[in-house]
Structure 1
Amino acid sequence: MGKQRDLSTGIVAQIQALRQQGLTQTKIAEQLGISQSSVCKALKKNCSKRTNCSGVRKTSARDNKQLRKIAVSNRFKSTSELTDLWNKQTGADVSRSTTYRRLRELGFKSRVPAVKPMLNKKQMEERLKWAKEHGEWTAEDCQKVVFSDESRFCISFGDQGPRVWRRGGETYNHECVKRSVKFPQSVMVWGCMSARGVGKLCFLKKTVSAAVYQDVLEMFLIPTVEEQFGEEDFIFQQDLAPAHAAKSTKDWFTKKQLEVLAWPANSPDLNVIENLWAIVKRKIRDRKPTTLDQLKQNIATAWEAVSAETCDKLVKSMPTETSGSHTSQGGSHKILRK
């Protein structure tokens, strides 16, 4: 069979006109007495964009406005679920792919939701007060702080849960964030860091009571600050966990003559070591540990590989980066300013 001849301009125009009327390629081919492949070729040849050759759009501007309202009210619904709601409310008959395209056109993108802690009114007020009290801190002030925290590491990290539909600038909007909850524990780790690098890492084998916590500080914090600061002054940061706030722990700090940074309750997002934990967990996820021993070894290896430059960069970001000091669970303010 010889090479198929190109269709005339008139035939191509007829194909385009029939397509705009909503006819399928099969119907067009039957009506014009040509092959379906010729119709397909003509449509592809004369279309630079898919929307120009896909026929009449099934949705109107009003339909699209309704979809925007549905997406804003149902941030954590899947595309299929949004499609069902859209069809039900508008009487339309659109596919999942059409819904996805319209959402993109409206500026929505499916993203993994940011995680923010649940805060009550008192905690919000304390966080704002803390931010104002430390609002004049400079990068140099932050470099005197030794940040500490415990973190749980799991052998199986699982999936990241439902995704959220949001537009640019909506990352931390109240309705777009995922509330953090406790997750299954495999290994609990205590660590500390400063602008000078990471400190000694401790794998916790039991519930952290005040006595256990003081032993951790004695065996892991003291060697770290002696190595990093020597005789220089520093400030120690910790959260308000029961073992940290216990009277015996406060007495321990007094005895050791260590200055402790005042800290608002339920504020892990203010602590730069959280960013460091995230870095370590990403590295471990790539290695995919399958046993507890492998997990511990991977944690230690990833922790030791963190450079002083990385720590310094994280600490220096505190005066300028927008963090989680909130007057509400939605809005945010710069916690420190130069």
Structure 2
Amino acid sequence: MALIGEADDDEIPQLSTGALDALKEFYGERDSRQRQFEDLKAQAEDDYDGSPLTMEAFTEDWNASQFWYSDATATALAEQLLEGASNDSCIAVVSAPSVFIQLKNIVNSGRYPARPQMHLLEYDERFAVFKKEFVLYDFEHPMRLPAELKGKFDRIICDPPFLSADCQTKAALTVRWLSKSWASPADARELQSARNLNPTGLRLIVCTGERMEPLITKLYGKAGTRTTSFNPEHSKGLSNEFRCYANFECREIPSMKLFESEKTLAFLDIGPLSFGHALVIPKYHGAKLTDIPDDQLSEVLHVTKKIATAVGAENYNILQNNGRAAHQEVDH
């Protein structure tokens, strides 16, 4: 007779071989990520050696609404924040750590000559391994931040963690508090022209769900933000339709295309100064006019004339800027 509480070995639940293998794989991946994280922490403590960083050490927490961008998306967004940046530029990354990782990779690669200041504002304290570049951020307290960050940044990307009006509005308060200016690059150029001032516009990117578009337009409209056709992709997919909003024009985050040929591309400016404001560019890459072969410029004036005729413009300007002193923002 067995005593109460005893059980036959046959009655003890047993995991199948497949379940055991899956469990071993799970713990193996967990331990691997932990080692990666510890290595990254050690690098930060010993001064970063410049080797490429990845998001693999930081597992997503879906309960905290963490969905990392794919490397391609994070890199494209990081490049737009770095375009035209100088050593005096300050970049704030609000709740988008995968973009911050790619910013560090690109800057350390030497692809861009400038080394702007960069800060990651993030709730997840694992990113504190980046020491002085990390700022603990909770959207519930949008302005509970170090005082020295107020009005500091001329380049900002924000990806609010939740698709709610409350979260989006509070994140917008944070962006406004951080911004050096609330004028788009186009508005800054207009102000510079009218008052003979240096343009200091905000370069802003906001990534969030498609259904937030009306609210985003309301919250960031005065900064010149518009919906782009760039679709951010996440490394593990996302059921919600995501959109990218920006207040400047670039090749990776395009606006409405007007004309395209083998040599030439024309599209509407994302922050138009007037009706029909368009950009007409050669596809051949050159930072300045003198860097582009004559045959690659052969269609530019012809296309410009066609657009001016199509919009019925009787009075118009044709501008072509070369170099920072001439207010060139994109090196193309």
TM beyond 0.5: no
Structure number with greater CO (CA < 8 Å, separation at least 6) is 1
Give the TM-score, by structure 1 length: 0.25
Could you say which structure has the higher helix fraction? Answer: 1
Q: Which structure is larger by alpha-carbon Rg, 1 or 2?
A: 1
Give the TM-score, by structure 2 length: 0.25
